[in-house]
Structure 1
Amino acid sequence: MIRPATLEDLPALMEIEARAFTHDRISRRNFRHLLSGANAVSLVDTDRQGLCGYVTVLFNRRSPRARLYSLAVDPRCRGRGLGTKLLAAAEKACRAQGRSALCLEVHPRNAKARRLYKQTGYRAIGRYPDFYEDGADAVRLEKSLAPAKA
């Protein structure tokens, strides 16, 4: 079940972050800010054992685009299509905010994430040099959220 994240989810979010990523992790302080701020939405997917994953999207009042800040699925929950499900929920939240596109950055060696984004309609629009802690560039992707014309 996907629902908005709350501050009560913070310990579980930190656990997912630690299990899902080896670098570029979101800090507790940053998560707290994201969960409390009006310029972001964080959604979580849960099962009977707790949180399985999350997605966080940032909004800028001056931009028609939203930015996917982070998406993570707990390793114990992988293989269930939760990444696709969370991404779809993020896109729905963006449309509800009147955003015309969703953009994101992905590590060039993250083949699984790149495959997910490609299969769901994201296209490469550029690179950011030296973006990640390990010095790797980021591949910048974007998807139009405008309704398809008949």
Structure 2
Amino acid sequence: MSLRDATAEDLAAIMDLERTSFPTDAWSEAMMREELASRHSHYVVLEDAGILLGYGGVRAVERAGDADIQTIAIAAAARGRGRGRELLTALLRAARARGAREVFLEVRADNPVATSLYASEGFLEIARRPRYYQPDDVDAVVMKLDLVGWVARAAADAGVCS
């Protein structure tokens, strides 16, 4: 199992997983291509023996102070093994490296597994966006993380002075 930066060559595999994971509201290939190419985004992929098992992205403009988790997806066969946390951690570290102090995200209100993951890392619900996910009429839960505090907690948990 390896985690690495995504490249344009990963687009087809990312789109396969995107369409499988988000059948009613998948991003278009053009949108994903632009995300992968943007200097303001950082995408990572998780693969095993050359097979893409997950991907995630964060939009973090250098020195802007905040960042947004754009997406995280894990193949069904790889779920429940900490892979989502692995992707999230990589994205949070990338955001901090770009100077972010806070990270925001939206998660479907009908996705308790993802919501629990984010809460376990310190994200707090700050708002709801009614009927945000279309065509399913599902609310978005808007969450926020104090990234500086998250880094300090991670360092303390690792026994490193911050």
Counterpart Cα distance in 2 of 1:128 and 1:68 = 16
Runs of at least 5 residues in structure 2 that lack an aligned partner in the other structure: 154-161
Q: Is the 8 Å Cα contact of residues 101 and 145 (structure 1) preserved in structure 2?
A: yes
Tell me whether 1:9 sits opposite 2:23 in the alignment. no
Deviation at 1:62, TM superposition (A): 7.8
Within 5 Å, give how 1:37-116 maps onto structure 2: 37-60=38-61, 63-116=64-117
1:30-65 superposed Cα distances (whole Å, 9 cap, x missing partner) = 111011111111111111151110111112468411
Name the SS for the 1:25 alignment partner: coil
Q: Given that residues 65 and 101 in structure 2 are in contact (C-alpha distance below 8 angstroms), is that contact kept between their aligned partners in structure 1?
A: yes
Q: Paired residue for 1:139, among 133, 138, 141?
A: 141
1:146 aligned counterpart, secondary structure:
helix
Q: How many corresponding residue pairs?
A: 150
Partner AA of 2:98 in structure 1: Q
Q: TM-score, normalised by structure 1?
A: 0.92
Gaps of 5+ in 1: none
* Contact 2:40 2:61 survives alignment (8 Å): yes
CA RMSD across the alignment = 1.7
Runs of 4+ aligned residues of structure 1 deviating over 4 Å after TM superposition are none
Write the distance in 2 (CA, Å) between the matches of 1:60 and 1:73. Answer: 25
Q: 1:80 to 1:49 in 2, by over 3 A?
A: farther
Secondary structure of 1:103's aligned partner: strand
As a proportion of its length, which structure holds more helix?
Answer: 2
Q: Using the TM superposition, give the Cα deviation of residue 136 of structure 1 relative to its aligned residue in structure 2, in angstroms.
A: 2.2
TM-score (norm: length of structure 2): 0.86
Specify the code of the residue in structure 2 equivalent to 1:96: A
Q: 1:60, 1:4 → 2: CA distance?
A: 17
Cα contact 1:130–1:138 (8 A) shared by 2? yes
Contact residue 101 and residue 143 of structure 1 kept, 8 A: yes
The 3 A distance-change label for structure 1 pair 78 and 39 is same
Alignment of 1:112-127 (within 5 A): 112-127=113-128
Distance 1:146 1:87 in 2: 15
- CA–CA distance in 2 between the matches of 1:24 and 1:103? 20
